[in-house]
Each structure stands twice: as structure tokens, then as C-alpha cells.
Amino acid sequence: MAIAHQIIEEKHGGTIDCYSQISKGTGCIISLPLGNSDAKNYE
């Protein structure tokens, strides 16, 4: 989860939202911005 946080939030300006329900499990929603001028361009 720490590596995902570094890549998604710090490098790409996105967010990770996690939720949990007893006896149903845990899920995460990953959101990435489109056209973020602050994100680094990797080729």
C-alpha cells in the first residue's frame, strides 16, 4: 500500500479511498486526474 500511495498520490496527484464492511471485505477506489500539468512525464 505504501508503494501504491507513492505512485498514485505523490507522483500522479491522484487519490486512494478505501472502505471496509464487516463480513464483506475491503475495497479501494483509485482516482487519477486527467491532464494534470503537475505530474511528471515519463516516456
List, for residues 1-43, the tens digit of each pLDDT value.
889 888 999 888 999 999 999 999 999 999 998 875 555 555 4
Rg (C-alpha) for the chain, rounded Å, is 13
Cell of 9: 498520490
For residues 6 and 16, is the Cβ–Cβ distance under 8 A?
no
**Residue 37 has what pLDDT?**
56
Q: Give the pLDDT of residue 1.
A: 81
Question: Which pTM value belongs to this model?
Answer: 0.61
Question: Can you count the helices (H) and strands (E) in the chain?
Answer: 1, 2
| 3-class DSSP assignment, residue 14 | coil
Return the pLDDT at 36. Answer: 52
